[in-house]
Amino acid sequence: MISIATVLLLAATAVRASSPADIVGGLFDIDPWLAEFEKVVGPVHRDRSIWEEAVGPLHRDHPSGPIAHLDLVFSIDAYHFDPQQEENVELASWSILFRGTADATRKRLRPRFGEGIALDFAPGRPRRFGDYYLTTLSDDRFELSWFAEEPEWAVPERSPAAERALVDRIIAFLQAGVDDAAIEAAFGKLEPQPRTSLMAAFGGDWRVQASHGKDRRADWVAIGVRGKPLDATRLIVSLGLREPGMIATDVHLSGPYLVDLATGKPPIVDGYRVSVELDRNQLESVPAKRPGTAAWRVKAWRVRSVTLTHDW
Higher pLDDT, 11 or 287: 287
Q: Given a cut of 90, is residue 296 above it in pLDDT?
A: no
Q: Which of 260, 271, 209 is nearest to 236 (CA)?
A: 260
Percent composition of the chain: helix, strand, coil (DSSP 3-state, to 5): 25, 30, 45
CA distance 26 to 123: 27
Distances (CA, A) of 101 to 17, 106, 144: 16, 10, 12
Tell me the pLDDT of the chain averaged across its residues.
87
Q: Where are the domains of the chain?
A: 4-154, 160-310
Whole-number pLDDT of residue 137: 93
Question: Does residue 80 sit in helix, strand or coil?
Answer: coil
Residue pLDDT, tens place only, 122-162: 999 999 999 999 999 988 899 999 999 999 999 999 999 99
Q: How many C-beta atoms lie closer than 10 Å to residue 121's C-beta?
A: 11
Higher pLDDT, 190 or 230: 230
Q: Given a cut of 80, is residue 185 above it in pLDDT?
A: yes
Q: How many C-beta atoms lie closer than 10 Å to residue 137's C-beta?
A: 13
Q: Which of 157, 154, 155 is nearest to 146 (CA)?
A: 154
Which of 28-42, 87-101, 220-234, 247-261 has the weakest average pLDDT? 247-261
Contacts of 117 (CB under 8 A, 6+ apart): 127, 128, 129
Q: What percent of the chain has pLDDT over 70?
A: 91
Contacts of 37 (CB under 8 A, 6+ apart): 27, 30, 44, 72, 91, 94
Whole-number pLDDT of residue 16: 47
Whole-number pLDDT of residue 294: 85
Compute the CA torsion angle 246, 83, 225, 298 (nearest 10 deg). 20
CA distance 201 to 207: 6
- 8 A C-beta contact, residue 98 and residue 108: no
Identity of the amino acid at 155 = V
Considering the entire predicted model, what is its pTM? 0.81
Q: Given a cut of 70, is residue 7 above it in pLDDT?
A: no
Whole-number pLDDT of residue 194: 72
